[in-house]
Amino acid sequence: MPRRGLWSPCRAFGGGRGPRRVRENQPVTNAKLGEEDARLGRIGLDLAPQLAHENAQIVGIVDRAFDALILLDARDLGAQAFRHAVGAPAVGAASPGPARPGSGRPGVPGPGAAGSETRRRAAARVRLPGALSFRNIGALYVWLVIAVIFAVWAPSTFPTWTTARQILDENAATGLMALSVVIPLCTRTFDLSVGFIASLSAVTASFMIAHGVPVAAAVAIAMGGALLVGLINAGVVVVMGVDSFIATLATGSLIAAFITLMTNDIAITSPKLLGPFAKIGQASIGGITLPVIYTLVVALVIWFVLEHTATGRRLYATGFNPESARLAGVRTARLRFASLIVSALLAGAAGVVLASTLGSGDPQAGVPYLLSAYAAAFLGASQLRPGRFNAWGTLIAVLLLGTGVVGLGLVSAPNWAPAMFTGVVLIAALGITGAKRRALHKGLRFGRRRVAR
């Protein structure tokens, strides 16, 4: 009895009216099937990495497109609110004129007018209250409450212009130190050596000037030392792959040892430090000392870079999800490398300002500012731009901390009170920042699910 032919599994590609039969003189053996399966498996293994890479790129493109849609929608709301404020017609609204087809009435708005009008009204109702809400600028309200408390507690000393200037002058260096850690924190990188770098710059500049080196050259040498430390930090963290928390802490210990070797823990003093060098940190313009102006200028530059340049968006992307940012084409390693160098340079500048203000090179000049700097940076991340480290939120936090410390000093609080106040603020800031980051991520995921639907 003749053996029937085997049915072909590729019916969809047969091209005929029915399934094709395999000829009896071409038997299909298990060996051939095994070889075919092995060949297909090898092809799949070869294509798997390429497909995974392309899939990751597609995910990154979708994420960026989603963020761009959110940004464009926000900009559209802001533009509609602005046009409403100046009396200009909203985008998409039809001006009175010819009748819409099918309406039979002149001056009937076009189809996009209803949506634009709704957006305009929503922006007018929500934009300003949201910007002034406690969730957005809660530290500012807390700062005002603290000021009122100390004004009632010490009415003869606290609510004066002298105290206000004292708060600004004493916290200008803190502001520079806090701004120095904002950039690396945007990339989720810690730099715990900034206090030691500031001390190194203060000692180096004071030592050079005391030994007859011109002021400009001494400052340049001090900044060169800070740049060298930044390169070392970047090399250890980015190139060698050591955790930034441990690496920068170790670098700070090495700097402390070098300072002790150079000064024997004795402050460098000299009459030469009271000349032109003192003007860097003690001169004033319009009653405002230069360190305050330096801090404002640095904050303005950081704000512009983070909010209005592609580099700022890439810094934030590196901090939020470094792997996705890398797959999307962002050079995360280069950004982290540069952020540590910028941090070291700003810390070095803060050290030079401290030495000029104090009139001496204190080996421990910058170390006490480390805790305050991080407390201000993390508290600032919960202000203005929830979940993001930003310049103006950091300065608000610096003023809050400075007001509390100066107020405690005016009311003769115990010596441990300022440190306790800063620690409590840091813990609260970390909790608030973490909660807002989680809320932001949940909101983005919810929005992506809605878009997917």
Residues 164, 126, single domain; the answer is no
Structure token pair of residue 239: 């190139």
Domain-embedded: residue 342: yes
> What integer is the mean pLDDT of 150-166?
89
Residues 126, 142, single domain; the answer is no
Please give the tally of structural domains in the chain.
2
pLDDT of 61 higher than 70: no
Residue type, 273: L
Residues 244, 280, single domain; the answer is yes
> What integer is the mean pLDDT of 355-366?
91
Structure token pair of residue 273: 């430090």
Residue pLDDT, tens place only, 182-241: 999 999 999 999 999 999 999 999 999 999 999 999 999 999 999 999 999 999 999 999
Residues 114, 174, single domain; the answer is no
Q: What is the pLDDT of residue 12?
A: 42
Tell me the range of 102-106, 169-173, 342-346, 373-377 where mean pLDDT is highest: 342-346
Residues 177, 71, single domain; the answer is no
The parent domain of residue 68 ranges over: 28-92+110-131
**How distant, in Å, are the alpha carbons of 22, 176, 245, 303, 306 from that of 385?**
69, 20, 25, 11, 11
Residues 170, 66, single domain; the answer is no
Residues 251, 143, single domain; the answer is yes
pLDDT of 66 higher than 50: no
Beta pairing partners, 181 = none
Residue pLDDT, tens place only, 130-152: 566 666 677 788 888 888 989 99
Residues 325, 202, single domain; the answer is yes
Residues 362, 390, single domain; the answer is yes
Domain-embedded: residue 423: yes
Domain-embedded: residue 414: yes
Q: What is the pLDDT of residue 145?
A: 86
Asked if residue 291 lies in contact with residue 353, where contact means CB atoms within 8 angstroms, the answer is yes
Q: What is the pLDDT of residue 127?
A: 58
What confidence tier does 329 reach under pLDDT thresholds 50, 70, 90? confident
Residues 85, 173, single domain; the answer is no
Residue pLDDT, tens place only, 240-263: 999 999 999 999 999 999 999 989
The CA-based angle 388-391-397, given to 5 degrees, is 90
Structure token pair of residue 223: 């900044």
Burial of 124 (0-12, 13-18, 19+ CB in 10 A): middle
Return the minimum-mean-pLDDT range out of 79-83, 230-234, 326-330, 338-342. Answer: 79-83
Integer Cα distance of 362 and 65 in angstroms: 51
Domain-embedded: residue 12: no
Q: What does pTM read for this prediction?
A: 0.68
pLDDT of 9 higher than 90: no
Domain-embedded: residue 285: yes
Residues 223, 365, single domain; the answer is yes
CATH of the domain at 147: 1.10.3470
Domain-embedded: residue 369: yes
Domain-embedded: residue 410: yes
Residues 120, 196, single domain; the answer is no
Side-chain-facing half-sphere of 384: CA atoms under 13 Å: 17
Domain-embedded: residue 263: yes
Q: What percent of the chain has pLDDT over 70?
A: 65
Q: What percent of the chain has pLDDT over 90?
A: 39
